[in-house]
Structure 1
């Protein structure tokens, strides 16, 4: 599985546990409050004052691949053979987009600290995976063997682009209600880089040598020009590398604000994960421009030979140096409103419209989230559409009371089902080629404990706190009181 970069991405999905999952917007869950820091996690007179996930991972993980290579990659991943029937003929330059995201909260701990201002503070530890790239049809075809290439020479058929970034994130979050309409929050994070890899091939060519040697093996001369980045990892990557350290330090900030209008519409804006990582000076940058001979491309061990020889080309004559990378920051704007279906207010419908834009890449996604709550049960139907013209439907099931919550769902329902069937070796789903192949799953759990948050008029415990820092600053500037 580790012989081709796109298949590495499939493996990352199964191992990681970044993408924001939209179904949690405005649910008031602990996960929602860490991802959208102006959102509250506590309800005065109902909730207890401490929220914790008790080390149960709260995660979302997702992947997708578009293009002609879907069938070939699925058949290789789940049956061991490449079905190249859907690939464009060699030399046509077919491209396949892929994206992998993972966000796993190992620890989420939050405190309700001040009734005057609804002040909340919390700490979290999480791990993130960010990966995306472009892969040519010919690159996938090359791993299947030389017999499907009718010509002996091709140019610019391996111009691939790939990026992977894995890091830990230790965060402090703060949320405060400024007045009855406005709430703000932020999350400050220390980042600890785990691994980074990036390949950009700008020129390439391949010359097939059809004459077999004495062992019956064919070879190919492959030329590639481009740049390769790779972070320093002491030895093979293992679980110890996911422990926070200062080898690859970084920082990020998430900022958000929520405003509730007089007619009950809540407008929320966020700038998320705006940050950087400085990778160790023992990391590697290579400007490669060379030709290598790959032997045994017609044999069963061709994947090993292609991978190992290409890796030598990428890493040869590299320079040890540090470098900086950006995190995949996003800007979001959402609008929501509550609708009650009964006088007792036991059935609530709260739709949310969301627009999300990646700040440093071209990615844009629009989402329409439809949630219905009946007492402690919440069901959510999500529709999303992005700039790759991919339309998705998702479902979420959630159990939420003032002091306990559990949720599970997916935002790519149909494709996740097809991907699961393909993994179970369902031939029809392996052969299915749609707009994309992908999967998505998210899961969360937390509990609240401690004293109940009570207003002074009917409290068994009377808090003596003052307004929060931003509330006091706001009052001094605008001379307001509450």
Structure 2
């Protein structure tokens, strides 16, 4: 397949950089409210009571142009190839590639109560998280979904480490105003693992000699994986309620008197139990493979690798962490222009990113430009266009315009990438509606949910934090 492999709703596991939709922060969209738990999705006197994407998924699509990877590998084998690595990567060449795809298949949110502006919602997401360590100009991994040796690349082989995890996420979210300035929110999720693989090679070498038609392979390391025995993706593997897990997200916002909006989140802190079909093992390979050259060189090598693989590993349950993040943002509106500074850091690894969202609004239309820079010294430029009313929203954007441009250019011209056969591209879009009666302010109507109840009623978070307060003496 020499064109584009599109990773759509359930086929997760591509190689794009870690991406969050920063342009959607502080937009009061349905996506913003589910991703940032303390955010509002409803506006008094304007919005209707129920919000949903109506089975129209929030897509976060990423493309992987596989290009000529098979051909490149075949050429390397037929012309001869040698590569060696012992111990950790050379820091001068080490690179890390992150991926975080997030697709909302279904979301539904309710305006619950005027007092404290209570909102609650339910959602179903499919997510994937990938991290690959590789030596620049020496190795690069090409994923084949849920294969047993997922992180072994087809080209410049055996010099990278990595892991991939994909899962369903079923969530309940709740937010409320704590007082005039503070708002608090939480998102509790049940997880169901789809697929997992982790591979670490601490010693590897490959020598291909076309004159003798042999390949000498040496590799030592460890791996963990959850996959089907036939090494193929089945519909049953994509179904939920397998490999259970839990996660939690917590968020808060604070609005200052001079109009600054501050937000802080701890997102998706959780874990997944991978069940009895999982494998874990150590491998110590020193093999010479014969008859590796010719037109079928790539297929021959993969077949031999799978044969070697069956000698290692045992069924063993294990637990994995989700990719938890800590976010902080500050924004302020200046007429039609709203800048938002966002800082994001992964909790369990060294990935971090700073982004500056520049949004211009005219009526119901807005456009955003999002330059960002990571701790891994990678620069990206994203963009987004949005049409939004109190009861309708549509947005379209890309997290990386530069890479998406080159990837689409290759696809349109039917060009082939060199050596690794790799280019990435991304696009995301979403649409949502609000239905029901308008959630008007009590001053504008004779009846509204929550109005007329006990005046001494306290919010959920007020009650929870009240246990730390001293009781008044009689």
TM-score normalised over the length of structure 1:
0.82
Number of the residue aligned with 1:144: none
> Aligned partners of 1:437 and 1:367: how far apart in 2?
23
> Aligned partners of 1:129 and 1:115: how far apart in 2?
37
Structure 1 counterpart SS, 2:32: helix
Structure 2 counterpart SS, 1:188: strand
Q: CA deviation at 1:361?
A: 1.0
User: Is the Cα contact below 8 Å between 2:112 and 2:449 reproduced in 1?
Assistant: no
Number of the residue aligned with 1:179: 179
Q: 1:167-205: CA deviations, max 9, x gaps?
A: 000000001111110001111000100000111111122
Number of the residue aligned with 2:253: 258
The reply to whether residue 242 of structure 1 matches residue 241 of structure 2 is: no
Distance 1:32 1:335, change over 3 A: same
Number of the residue aligned with 1:440: 426
> Aligned partners of 2:220 and 2:259: how far apart in 1?
57
Q: CA deviation at 1:160?
A: 1.8
> Aligned partners of 1:357 and 1:292: how far apart in 2?
42
Q: CA deviation at 1:248?
A: 0.6
Number of the residue aligned with 1:387: 375
> Aligned partners of 1:211 and 1:81: how far apart in 2?
19
Number of the residue aligned with 1:126: 125
User: Is the Cα contact below 8 Å between 1:286 and 1:314 reproduced in 2?
Assistant: no
Within a 5 Å distance, the mapping from 1:311-350 to structure 2 comes to 311-340=306-335, 348-350=336-338
User: Is the Cα contact below 8 Å between 1:165 and 1:195 reproduced in 2?
Assistant: yes
> Aligned partners of 1:315 and 1:138: how far apart in 2?
27
Identify unmatched segments of 5+ residues in structure 2: 142-155, 452-456
Distance 1:89 1:451, change over 3 A: same
Q: CA deviation at 1:338?
A: 1.4
> Aligned partners of 2:111 and 2:175: how far apart in 1?
10
Structure 2 counterpart SS, 1:441: strand
TM-score normalised over the length of structure 2:
0.83
Q: Give the structure with the higher percent helix.
A: 1
Aligned residue pairs total 433
Number of the residue aligned with 1:162: 162
User: Is the Cα contact below 8 Å between 2:333 and 2:339 reproduced in 1?
Assistant: yes
User: Is the Cα contact below 8 Å between 1:159 and 1:200 reproduced in 2?
Assistant: no
Q: CA deviation at 1:334?
A: 0.5
Structure 2 counterpart SS, 1:223: strand
Q: CA deviation at 1:393?
A: 1.4
Distance 1:173 1:140, change over 3 A: closer
Within a 5 Å distance, the mapping from 1:112-151 to structure 2 comes to 112-136=111-135
Q: CA deviation at 1:99?
A: 3.1
Q: CA deviation at 1:13?
A: 7.3
Number of the residue aligned with 2:459: 468
Distance 1:191 1:372, change over 3 A: same
Structure 2 counterpart SS, 1:127: strand
Distance 1:138 1:332, change over 3 A: closer
Distance 1:399 1:388, change over 3 A: same
Q: CA deviation at 1:408?
A: 0.5
Number of the residue aligned with 1:107: 106
Structure 1 counterpart SS, 2:360: strand
User: Is the Cα contact below 8 Å between 1:195 and 1:233 reproduced in 2?
Assistant: no
The reply to whether residue 229 of structure 1 matches residue 187 of structure 2 is: no
Distance 1:334 1:39, change over 3 A: same
> Aligned partners of 2:334 and 2:371: how far apart in 1?
19
Identify unmatched segments of 5+ residues in structure 1: 65-72, 142-155, 213-217, 341-347
> Aligned partners of 2:257 and 2:95: how far apart in 1?
48
Number of the residue aligned with 1:220: 215
User: Is the Cα contact below 8 Å between 1:53 and 1:447 reproduced in 2?
Assistant: yes
Distance 1:275 1:263, change over 3 A: same
Structure 2 counterpart SS, 1:389: coil
Number of the residue aligned with 2:41: 41
> Aligned partners of 1:385 and 1:140: how far apart in 2?
22
Number of the residue aligned with 1:76: 68
Number of the residue aligned with 1:412: 400
Cα RMSD (Å) of the superposition?
A: 3.2
User: Is the Cα contact below 8 Å between 2:417 and 2:423 reproduced in 1?
Assistant: no
